[in-house]
Amino acid sequence: MKKILTIIIAALLITPGFAQDEQAGSSKVVNKNGVPILPEAGDIALGIDMVPFLNFVGNIANQTTNNSYNGQFLSNGNTHYGKYFLSSDMAVRGRVGLYNRTSNLKNYVQDDAALYVDPNSPDMVIDVYKYVSHNYLIGAGIEKRRGKGRLQGFFAAEVNLMFGSTKDTYTYGNSFSEINQTPTTTSFGSNLTGNGRILEDKGNTYFGVGLNGFLGVEYFIMPNVSLGSEVGWGINYRSYSQSNNVEEIWNGNAAEEITNLDSPGNNYFGYGLTNPTASLYLMFHF
């Protein structure tokens, strides 16, 4: 079933391209109605990453939710692309990536206060773990194109800026008190310490810059609509800030919050195949 569905989708994408009869005797590539197929000076193009779509199709085909596209190591999901054509063979280009994630985990634990009053109490309270991650990318560069007919090759250079942060927050149903110095608490993995429990963990914020080169191809399946793929190589630098957490403990007399240093901050420098790159994208030209 998966193979059949893949063939159908490929046919739907490719057939419109072959249905157009390109006219000879002109420097422009047009369809049989004279509509230009390739972009021209002043055109704007907007594109979307096709990898999430391919994953979705795969999930439909075999009724699972864990499919991944084999080219995903070259992709950055949720990336949007834009181009402005200075001429038919040169364009300025940019990309914006938004990779935000929020999750909430909840767990029942016994209500210590109710259990103190009634040892048979069935009452429960809720512990909550919230994770928030923000990651942003902005890129701009220039692209040079060449090719014959619908198939266009290009090379490009871009400068990319990256920044982001993470934060873990914990809320507990049972509080510290003189009669409850070790409240019942959910272990969410790393929130329990030797003396207490974590209330908040602020991860490293980071800022990065990259200089990247790209090689790619686009095939115009119909006028001003193309499928493209590219691979990039570049140099990237990231700087990570200091991180810390807030821990709640019982100090012998009362609940106390103390701040602990997790990391003094780090720097990263690397080169090679880089993200962001698009393993497969769909581009619309206007």
The pLDDT tens digits of the residues spanning 95-146 come to: 998 888 899 999 999 999 999 999 999 999 999 999 999 999 999 999 999 9
Helix/strand/coil percentages in the chain, nearest 5: 15, 55, 30
| pLDDT score of 28 | 76
Structure token digits, residue 268:
């990263």
Q: Are 146 and 215 in contact (CB under 8 A)?
A: no
Q: What is the pLDDT of residue 29?
A: 82
Distance CA 232, CA 198 (A): 41
252: three-class secondary structure by DSSP: coil
User: What is the Cα–Cα distance from 68 to 72, expressed in whole angstroms?
Assistant: 7
pTM of the model as a whole:
0.71
Give CA–CA dist 87/19, Å, rounded.
27
For 165-176, write each residue's pLDDT tens digit: 999 999 999 999
| Sequential pLDDT tens for the chain (286 residues) | 444 334 434 444 444 444 444 544 446 788 777 888 899 999 999 988 776 555 544 454 555 555 544 443 333 446 788 999 999 999 999 999 888 889 999 999 999 999 999 999 999 999 999 999 999 999 999 999 998 889 999 999 999 999 999 999 999 999 999 999 999 999 999 999 988 999 999 998 999 999 999 999 999 998 889 998 888 899 999 999 999 999 999 999 999 999 999 889 999 999 888 655 456 888 999 9
Distance CA 92, CA 97 (A): 17
**Of 157, 94, 104, nearest to 127 (Cα)?**
104
How far is the C-alpha of 50 from the C-alpha of 72, rounded, in Å?
10
- Copy the structure tokens of residue 9: 């989708």
User: How many other CB atoms are found less than 10 A from the CB of residue 50?
Assistant: 20
Which segments within 149-224 are labelled E, that is strand?
A: 151-171, 196-202, 206-222
Name the 3-class secondary structure at 28.
coil
